[in-house]
Amino acid sequence: MTAETGQRWTLRGTHTEYTVAVPAHGRWLELVAWGPHGVSDGPSPVAYDGPVPFLTAGDAAPIEYATDADRPFTGADLVIETSNGQRRVGFVHTDARIDADQRQLAVDFADPVTGLRATVHYRVPAGTDVVQRWVELANDGTDALRVVRAGSGGFCVPTPHGALLSHQWGQWEQEFQLSHVELGHGAFGIGSSQGVPGHLHVPWLAVRDTAEPAGPAWGIALAWTGSWEISAERDTGGLTRVRVGRQLVDGPLELAAGERLALPAATGAYSPDGLDGLARVWHTHQRLLAADRLSPRPVLYNSWEATYFAVEAQSQLALARIAAELGVETFVVDDGWFVGRDDDTAGLGDWTPDPAKFPAGFDTFIADVRALGLNFGLWVEPECVNPKSSLYAEHPDWVYSVDGRPLTPVRNQYLLDLGRPEVAEFVHSTVDGLLRRYDIDYLKWDFNRPRTEPGRSGGVGPLDLDGAHVANLHRIYERLRRDHPGVLIEACAGGGARTDLAMAARADVFWPSDNTGPLDRLAIQYGFLHANAPHLLSSWVTDAPGLFDPRPRSLAFRFVLAMAGVLGIGADIRAWTAAERAEAAGWIARYKEIRDVVTHGEVHLIGGPDQARCAVQYTAPDENQVVVLAWHTGRLDGAGLLPSRPVRLPLRGLDPTGRYSHGDRHYSGSHLVTVGLPVQWSATHDADLIVLTRG
């Protein structure tokens, strides 16, 4: 039985709307309009009314979720194969439900031949301008089906003059590099087959029309912590369709008779104000994902770059004493605290504090840290194991492996098959046990290698290893959150290889890169903030030079840079002079005064790391305080013989009739927006923290 066709529904966000309809033929759901309130009135900006010679109508239609029967030539979101190898599943609309607030919609379809049912879900979280989309499949037939392509949906964007795509590429120690591609015709694709989102690309894409780069911007991101893919294709009629979903690196998914499968949520965002405005839409969404955990994060010290694997109680306490004097609030012991861990060749899997390194006991050591007025944090990497470990000796079958094939070590370690119930229980009980046994406030969860061997020892039949690993990882995080609500969790994967919307809903902070060099880090953070809110950005002040731009920068530059998110210190502060420690204490005190605005404020990205001016503006929710972090990226490592010239930073989103003060200087809001805030640079002054107060 089919439902009434020709139906239309509009979902409403704070400033936007998203309208979809089932055409009269009832075979699919298609987009009518996506943009500001009122965009659904009048002709659809994405409709295609002309003929489609040599193609099907579905290949040109703005379909929301397409099977290969709907789009046989230009790319489907869902491809299903029967047991005898036949494809071309086609749906018929059967039902729909929308809530009274116009924020949730579910549209049902069914295939009368195979018995496959699909429900396309939409949700617009209150207070946002994003639309979350996911699909639930159910096999109501009598035969097993194979899911060959498991996309979460297609997003259609009007690009009449050409598509300007923005994406983030990178590698280890060079993540989140923002880049732009003009797509006149054809396709563009990014993704990961590593079992994690990866360093190479971010599951995020922005689309604008080439004629209006500062105008309307549409963004798409995927909430999936495994392998993924995003592709964009612009057709000859000027429509760009973005497909997003899982990349099935383990082969087709088996969907037995009676089984159900929920695909990851894809999220679309819209802003009329280009990439800068789009970033704020993502920030609002992620702050709501954090819910009651959205509070200013403590200033932390991490011991990694000071001691590396040479962890022992006295040197750690020496660092902790200085950190406490500087005003640090949480002390984190990084890798090297457990038995067998003197380098990266051994120990992973054996999560017992090394009694030789903590002769008075780990409890006593933690108590000594806490006696300094510090919270305590610990580094773990529970999904990995070294061949030189008791765990691997006892359970060699727990790692991913292909029978008869050699294992591939990465960083001298193997990856545990988290999809195995006994492995998932071991990982959970290990971390949960540490949190119950010791007085821990902060957990840095690392992941330093991708999955290489796509198999399970003694495994029978095709297995969705990627899906099982991600599902159990998410469950473990959720159990830890429930049982240890006061513990902050930092998600790390050799830097920024595990950042996606699913982790943003479960972790408190991300570690975006192992590269802490100031100018390299500026570019990393600039890209990161386009897709992620400041409360997720963990950033340290260190003495490390950059790998790609090693020019030195002042301590002020490094502190102001780290204040752009969650402030941390990772330098060997034992080697800092008394003057450097005093300066550091001053910066930490100033950060504590502004971190509430950084956490909750409206963000504007000004300039960029490759421009003469680069700044981030944070405007408090009540608009009474504006924090500006500014950096000079030019050559300031000389003898100070070149003349200094002022730079004006044009601020955004201020009350044009308001009055703002900075020290003994006063500005009008219109002056700050149209003329800008003057900043004076010199060879010894390469960064600024400016606080403007309205009134």
Question: What angle do the packed helices 362-371 and 313-326 form, to 10 degrees?
Answer: 20
pLDDT interval class at 50 (50, 70, 90): confident
Catalytic residue check, 108 = no
Report the pLDDT averaged over residues 676-687.
84
Spatial neighbors of 60 by CB under 8 A, at least 6 apart, are: 48, 52, 74, 235, 237, 239
pLDDT in tens, 152-166: 999 999 999 999 999
Q: Residues 363, 369, 374, 378: is their CA dihedral positive or negative?
A: negative
Which residues 6+ apart lie within 8 Å of 559 measured at CB? 541, 567, 584, 587, 591, 687
Which CATH entry fits the domain spanning 294-511: 3.40.50.300, 3.20.20.70, 1.10.3720.10, 3.30.420.10? Answer: 3.20.20.70
Return the half-sphere exposure (C-beta side, CA atoms, 13 A cut-off) of residue 63. 26
Is 636's pLDDT higher than 70? no
Does the structural domain 2-291 have CATH classification 2.30.40.10?
no
Q: In this structure, what token pair is assigned to residue 373?
A: 């007025």
Longest alpha-carbon distance in the chain: 82
- Looking at residue 367, its amino acid is A
* Two tokens, residue 73: 């030539």
pLDDT of residue 2: 47
- Mean pLDDT confidence for 222-247: 97
Residues of the binding site = 172, 334-335, 411, 444-448, 492, 514
Output b/e per residue, 201-234; b: 16+ Cβ within 10 A.
Answer: bbbbbbbbbbeeeeebbbbbbbbbbbbbbbbbbb
pLDDT at 683: 66
Q: What percent of the chain has pLDDT over 90?
A: 93
Can you tell me the mean pLDDT for 612-639? 86
d(CA 270, CA 268): 7
Q: 558 burial class (0-12, 13-18, 19+ CB within 10 angstroms)?
A: buried
Identify the CATH homologous superfamily for domain 625-694. Answer: Golgi alpha-mannosidase II (2.60.40.1180)
Per residue in 292-326, pLDDT tens? 999 999 999 999 999 999 999 999 999 999 999 99
Which pLDDT score, from 0 to 100, does residue 637 have? 47
Catalytic-role residue among 446, 464, 508, 520: 446
The two beta strands, 145-158 and 130-139, are unpaired
328 pLDDT above the threshold of 90 = yes
Q: State the DSSP code for 346.
A: B
- In this prediction, residue 527 has a pLDDT band, given cuts at 50, 70 and 90, of very high
pLDDT, residue 332, reads 98
Q: Could you give the CA distance from residue 343 to residue 123 in angstroms, rounded to a whole number?
A: 47
pLDDT of residue 496: 98
Residues 471-480 have pLDDT tens digits of: 999 999 999 9
Q: How much of the chain is helix, strand and coil, in % rounded to 5? A: 25, 35, 45
DSSP string, 209-253: ETT-TTS-EEEEEEE-SS-EEEEEEE-TTSEEEEEEEE--TT-PE
Active site residue 209: no
Could you say which of 354, 417, 514, 686 is catalytic? 514
- Asked if 518 and 557 touch (Cβ cutoff 8 Å), the reply is yes
Q: Which residues are annotated as a binding site for substrate?
A: 172, 334-335, 411, 444-448, 492, 514
C-alpha pair distances (Å), 56 with each of 52, 59, 63, 74, 654:
7, 5, 12, 10, 50
**Domain residue extents for the chain:** 2-291, 294-511, 625-694
More confident residue, 447 or 642: 447
pLDDT confidence of residue 644: 62
HSE (CB half, 13 Å, CA atoms) of 437? 14
Region 507-536 average pLDDT:
98
The 10 Å Cβ neighbour count of residue 256 is 10
CB distance 117 to 109 below 8 Å: yes
This prediction's pTM:
0.97
Q: What is the pLDDT of residue 376?
A: 99
- Residue 434: name the closest of 338, 562, 511 by CA: 338
Three-point CA angle 302, 307, 309, nearest 5°: 100
Nearest one of 691, 651, 693, 653 to 671, comparing CA atoms:
651
* End-to-end CA gap in the chain: 65
Mean pLDDT of the chain: 95
Per-residue pLDDT of 173-187, as tens digits, reads 999 999 999 999 999
